[in-house]
Amino acid sequence: MFEFLTKPWPWYVAGPLIGLMVPALLLLGNKSLGISSSLRHVCAMCVPGNIKFFNYDWKKEAWNLFYVVGIGLGAYLAATYLANPEPIQLGDKTLARLTEFGLSAPTSLQPMELFGLDQVLSLKGLIFMVVGGFLVGFGTRYAGGCTSGHTIMGLSNLQWPSLVATISFMIGGLVMTHLLLPQIFKLF
């Protein structure tokens, strides 16, 4: 009866459920979907009053912190109970490109040669995780929101800045993947 709870959900079920979160949040609480603002709320909680940017009533947005906890809990439950037992299917061109970069076919969602625990303290790990994380954080602040906030929430509300941000995210991802990443891999 509850077999759907023990298998990964297909895109045509999970996608519309994510999309339905937008009107649900707007109708039930006049809230916007997005994750990046939660870091600001945590900082405002921990450093009250000293920094102007964090000097606001973060308690009005506390629901967002529950949203973040729910994402973590949902990810844990999905990985524990809905994990797909099948190996990840990658196209031949993708496998050839990974081999060209010196990476093996990933057995999980990311190559362990880049994101494994032994890579954290290496130069490559420093570049990909710390510098990359900083650039993502900077870009999120500069764009006034993250990919989920702009792409899911902003586009559904027909916001021009969200369209510009989403197009920029896509162009940036393509430039990084096809132009910059190969050059970075040549350094190692």
Query: What is the rounded distance in angstroms from the CA atom of residue 127 to the CA atom of residue 156?
Result: 35
- Which tens digits make up the pLDDT trace of 75-103? 888 878 777 777 778 888 888 888 888 78
With 0-12 / 13-18 / 19 or more C-beta atoms within 10 angstroms meaning exposed / middle / buried, residue 171 is exposed
Q: What confidence tens digit (pLDDT) does each residue in 36-81 have?
A: 888 888 888 887 677 887 788 888 888 888 888 988 998 888 878 7
Would the pLDDT of 6 be above 80?
A: no
- The per-residue pLDDT for 73 is 93
Q: What is the mean pLDDT of the chain?
A: 81
| Residue in 7, 32, 13 with CA at minimum distance from that of residue 21 | 32
Question: CB count, 10 Å around CB of 150?
Answer: 25
Domains of the chain: which residue ranges?
1-86
Q: What are phi and psi for residue 139, nearest 5 degrees?
A: -65, -35
For residue 161, pLDDT beyond 80 = yes
Over range 133-153, report the average pLDDT.
82
Q: Looking at residue 104, what DSSP letter applies?
A: P
